[in-house]
Amino acid sequence: MRQECVDWVEKPFSLTRQCELLSLHKSGLYYQPQGESEDNLRLMRKIDEHYLKTPFAGYRMMSDLLRRDGETVNEKRVRRLIRWMGLVAIYPKPDLSKASKAHKKYPYLLRNRIINGVNQVWSSDITYIPMKNGFLYLVAVMDGPAHPVHRRSGRVVTYSPGSCLIVWRAVFA
């Protein structure tokens, strides 16, 4: 960042001149960004819990849900926190299924393709995890054949916790 280029010790130029040369505002040198308060983090955790149960709730309904929990909040604060968290209420939007003329249509490249080795098909997923002091995005990138769905005795076994044990016993027993 340009703020790091300012020389506070030797000062070859005055701070004002250094800021002019770096196209910085002098007030920006002293600003220390503050994180969210503990109260806001606690509210964000509650908003996240409610959002997982009622993803269709907007900021008004979310404010009502928080008030039922005994929180003293106004709608502007809840709206700001919801926007900062990147949450959007899920509801049918108008013309949702209409394709845009400007959007390029990509072909499905795996149709009629036999996948029999590693590094042929990759998939990814991203999930949002609330943490004690904030939030975390977990990203997983997987090689397709490295995590196949196993077929045993005519039934499909997927990777739920119970079925993992079935596969583990079948492989290692």
For the chain, which residues make up each domain, given as ranges? 1-33, 38-85, 122-172
Average pLDDT (44-49) is: 94
Which tens digits make up the pLDDT trace of 54-78? 999 999 999 999 999 999 999 999 9
Which tens digits make up the pLDDT trace of 117-154? 777 888 888 888 887 777 788 887 777 766 554 444 44
Q: For residue 56, how far is the Cα from the chain centroid?
A: 18
Question: What does the chain come to in residues?
Answer: 173
Q: Compute the distance between CA of residue 55 and CA of residue 84 in angstroms, rounded to an integer.
A: 16
pTM of the model: 0.47
